[in-house]
Structure 1
């Protein structure tokens, strides 16, 4: 059954556990909860990815910077298939690619939860829109999906123009997750080709938060971003 963050906090207070020893325990408490829908894909989803999906399912607000591809929560099926197939480099059978696409699309149901849909604030590098993934048809459909998502009240999309130059997130993409439980500390997720990093230090989270604030300040306003995405979609449709 696991333990709630509130109950764990009470136990830690009782035993006067120091703050620097609490965060790993909070992480264990999250992963000890009941099984989720993603467990059905255990044979196709690496453990690091499963951990991220579980954290994402518990999140109430995600701020993300995406410099290489459209955020997975905003991808179409065709776009996701091309991205996943390229990442696996032909080392996995088509069936696994299909299951991973299913996982990615299932994650998007978080936007429609009745008891509090996920809020997403995504800053997307302009190069993501112009990099052709699959075909012009796939890119046109992906741009249309971004425009549709941007109309949701719980989704904000901004495009960081190439002309903005150097910025604090030049090291790469990241996501800042805030959780529904007030006792759950924020987590920053950073993904690499072979592993994932979960940043939980208050000082490091502050730096990522500050970096995201710089990014959204340098990015186009949401309405301007939608206009740019619409123009890119038109070019791909020609």
Structure 2
């Protein structure tokens, strides 16, 4: 899958740019609303990235903000156009968090820790189906969609994505009651560890004891373009939460660093996976 502009990322970038331009024009959201005759809250929705913007609205804002540089205006309109597109994940929004998939799609680095399951980008089709059924969050009829979406996400591994995953040993041991799925999933993890240069996989053993992220998983998303600040994603049963403040992201980076120290090294993790494979 070639990396294409993500509408979700572009909408966030557009929101930040619209806020910057308004502040540079020294206008409040109330003044913008009054000058353009917009409904209350519309400008706030635009600046929070929760509203798809039509070209006429963007042109009105550029005129109000006195942006006369045609290249600048064209750049904002292009962002708006990209933000209105639909990503491949749109078809799977009923079974997976579409906002997260949108942010993941353009990330240059994904760092993930999950305490109880194999991270999504590492899941086989069989494991994805087993996990979806166990969660009870989707119907049996949705399972095929979950599997297809997982396989689409895995195509990201073929591009220039840097992926760091801390796999909890408890997630591996939970596979013991499904030998066929276990063999396929563990074999896949071994293949990834041995064959993809941009993938770093570490196993967090039970012997590590208490650690910095007990009971909660997280994902840190970093981007190549400095216009797109890093994000932390916290997955919930009914929806996820995104953290954007620098101090919040820095805190989770410290947690990740601590987990990496507690986990087995890459070579030790590969040996542990191969030993586990013999026991399945």
TM-score (norm 2): 0.72
Corresponding residue for residue 135 of structure 1: 178
- How far residue 164 of structure 1 moved from its aligned partner, in angstroms, is 1.1
Residue 175 (str. 1) matches residue 219 (str. 2): yes
Would the aligned equivalents of 2:233 and 2:242 in 1 still touch at CA under 8 Å? yes
Provide the rounded CA distance (Å) in 1 between the counterparts of 2:177 and 2:149.
20
CA contact (8 A) 2:201 2:266 kept: yes
Query: Where do 5+ consecutive residues of structure 2 fail to align?
Result: 30-43, 51-78
The 3-state SS of whatever aligns with 2:210 is: coil
Q: 2:200 aligns with which of 136, 144, 156?
A: 156
Normalised by the length of structure 1, the TM-score is 0.84
* Structure 2 CA distance for partners of 1:10 and 1:80, relative to 1, 3 Å: closer
Structure 1 unaligned segments of length 5 or more: list them. Answer: none
- Looking at both structures, which has the greater relative contact order when contacts are Cα pairs under 8 Å and sequence separation is at least 6? 1
The Cα RMSD (Å) is 2.8
Count of aligned pairs: 225
Q: Residue 107 of structure 2 is aligned with which of 44, 47, 59?
A: 59
Secondary structure class of the residue paired with 1:183? coil
Counterpart position of 2:95: 45
User: Residue 68 of structure 1 aligns with which residue?
Assistant: 116
- 1:7/1:175 Cα in 2 relative to 1: closer, same or farther (>3 Å)? closer
Give the structure with the larger strand fraction.
Answer: 1
Question: Rg: which structure is higher?
Answer: 2
How far residue 67 of structure 1 moved from its aligned partner, in angstroms, is: 1.0
Tell me, in whole angstroms, the C-alpha distance in 1 between the residues paired with 2:273 and 2:237: 28
- Helix, strand or coil for the counterpart of 1:132? helix
1:187 lines up with 2:231 in the alignment: yes
Query: 2:102 and 2:156 mapped to 1: Cα distance?
Result: 12
